[in-house]
Amino acid sequence: MHWTKSMAACALTLSMGVALAARGQTAPAASNQSNLADWWKNAVILEIYPRSYQDSNGDGIGDLNGITQRLDYLKSLGVDAIWLTPIYPSPQVDFGYDISDYEGIDPQYGTMADFDKLMDEANKRHIRVIMDMVMNHSSDKHKWFLESRSSKKNPYRNWYVWKDGKGETATDKGAPPNNWRSGFGGSAWEWDPTTRQYWYHKFYTEQPDFNWNNPKVHQAFKDIIAFWLKKGVAGFRFDAITTLFEDPQWRDESPVLDKNGNPEKGPDGQIELNDTQTNNLPAVHDVMKEMRASADKGFKSATYPGTRVFIGETYLPNIAELAKQYGTADHPEFHLPMDTQILAINKMDAVAFRTRLNDVETGIGNNVPLLVFDNHDNPRIDARYGDGVHNEDIERVIATVLFASKGTALFYNGDEIGMKTTPPERKEDVKDPVGRAMWPFYKGRDGERTPMQWDDSANAGFTTGTPWLPVPPTYKAVNVEAEQGKPDSMLTWYQNLIEMKKSNPALAQGTDLMVDTENTRVLSWLRQAPDGTQVLVTCNFTADPQTVNLSGGGVKGMQAKTLLKSPAGSEPGSLDKVDLPPFGVWIGQVQ
């Protein structure tokens, strides 16, 4: 991933629903049970940031028992699976992405018994649990790295990436081996005075990169994956997966050039670098094929049946590169590499959305797209797509694209109630180290990691203690309790979309075809089920009212029954004249 650039970009960018007649309570469970091999193909997956989800013991930090307490809520949302960001023992420099033991649970989050209980209770509700798998790097406190840095002769030395400096003498460490930069700023090389070499870290200094040219590293991760699969987890989200390998000749990264051919500078004044020597090297595919083959071998469990999925954190430059991440029929890699092209549009641009959705419709063969708009590394939807006036309506448009398009949908906790990005106002309050290092150009990722807003009591029901990050002031109105059961709330909008994705044959299994394709202001598409059922979806991407003609083409009829719309308003009389209010959404079944 081009981490520095995208973070810089983040730094710079800173109704009414018609309730469905009846929301089926059994749909998610039924789909989960009835098709164990394919459960992930039209699935809804929720990313949970455990640290901020629900604290059960008053220490101000979310934990596993807290998640267990909220499983009934998760069931009412209709999610098929939850992906937990890392809960392993960790010094928490990168809030869990610096792992010091891959087969344990950090005491801040609970115990292995708490994890087993979460698995058990989730399973009772037909909710699957997906773990984060960080194979690019460990914590510098992991015993493997402590061994590795202890001596050049240590058997773990070549588990990590070590290199001599340039021009080193007995008294001078010389310069780093090349110009590679950490995604979090500064050189990607850190000097070790004991063994007099540099170690490579794509991310924080405390996150040394593994040496994936060492077969022992491969075996270690196959064992870790097997450990969790035996416990019954439904799969893994592979973190920073494209950065496993580095250029074997250690060549410098080239500068990013602007349109006049001059080196581009980031907001901090540093020249931006390409990442061709340290990202998306072809050998990653061999590793993923190997991991997938190993994971596919077995671990069948009567208690936790069904396909175990591989999800990829795949920030890639184009659809062709994304397509490669699926592997081939004989040598599969990811089931669901994230389509981050769509995540990265970052503006309400109907044409860009159409292009990206067409790309994934046509560019990945028969594979299943994984659409995603939000996560714990990017400002929330309001900050990237909102206009400050219609943010709620815009959030509904984004949710509609996510859940009414073909494929599997991944969303981030809090989006379903319309939580807003709330970055720290003072440098001394910043928790994410990159936010302190790059202040004020970039304030880090605290703004999208604030505690989940459950109700309007003190600390939004997240904790009885002092929350590790402040609860945003919006919690009085924006919270689960206030929105539950309210026909016009964001939560109801999400629940209705998810229920429709599961129960309407056109949305659950239908093809996806863009319609009214010359329109630069409104995005419309047609879903058609194998039985011929047709559903039209149309979203106004502007702050002005629009009227669209959705008739003709493959649409078999002139009338439609409204399934869902936002905001409230008149029903379209005929499909050749559908009126949409600013950032309005209309979904209808063709009659």
Binding site for ligand GLC (CB under 6 A): 94, 97, 134, 203, 239-240, 313, 376-377
Nearer to ligand GLC, 321 or 576 (CB): 321
For the chain, report the end-to-end CA distance as a whole number of angstroms: 45
Kindly state the smallest distance separating residue 343's Cβ from ligand GLC, in Å. Answer: 12
Nearest to 178 by CA among 157, 192, 198: 198
Kindly state the smallest distance separating residue 377's Cβ from ligand GLC, in Å. Answer: 5
Kindly state the smallest distance separating residue 141's Cβ from ligand GLC, in Å. Answer: 15
Kindly state the smallest distance separating residue 137's Cβ from ligand GLC, in Å. Answer: 7
Nearest to 554 by CA among 577, 587, 525: 525
Nearer to ligand GLC, 239 or 246 (CB): 239
Cis ω before 567 (30° cut-off from 0): yes
Kindly state the smallest distance separating residue 250's Cβ from ligand GLC, in Å. Answer: 22
Structure tokens belonging to residue 287: 């590793």
Eight-class DSSP state of 329: S
Nearer to ligand GLC, 313 or 395 (CB): 313
Sequence-distant contacts of 55-59: CB under 8 A, at least 24 apart: 55/462, 55/463, 55/464, 55/465, 55/467, 58/463, 58/464, 58/465, 59/108, 59/463, 59/465
Eight-class DSSP state of 159: G
Kindly state the smallest distance separating residue 474's Cβ from ligand GLC, in Å. Answer: 23
Nearer to ligand GLC, 313 or 393 (CB): 313
Nearest to 144 by CA among 189, 209, 202: 209
CA distance 103 to 397: 40
Nearer to ligand GLC, 6 or 294 (CB): 6
Kindly state the smallest distance separating residue 135's Cβ from ligand GLC, in Å. Answer: 10
How far is CA 444 from each of CA 4, 50, 385, rounded to the nearest angstrom?
Answer: 12, 18, 19
Nearest residue to ligand GLC on Cβ basis: 97
CB 67 within 8 A of CB 54: yes
CA distance 463 to 65: 12
Nearer to ligand GLC, 80 or 94 (CB): 94
Instruction: Tell me the catalytic residues.
Output: 239, 313
CA distance 288 to 285: 5
CA distance 363 to 529: 21
3-state secondary structure 445-508: CHHHCCCCCCCCCHHHHCCCCCCCCCCCHHHHCCCHHHHCCCCCCHHHHHHHHHHHHHHCHHHH
Nearer to ligand GLC, 55 or 448 (CB): 448
CA distance 192 to 26: 57
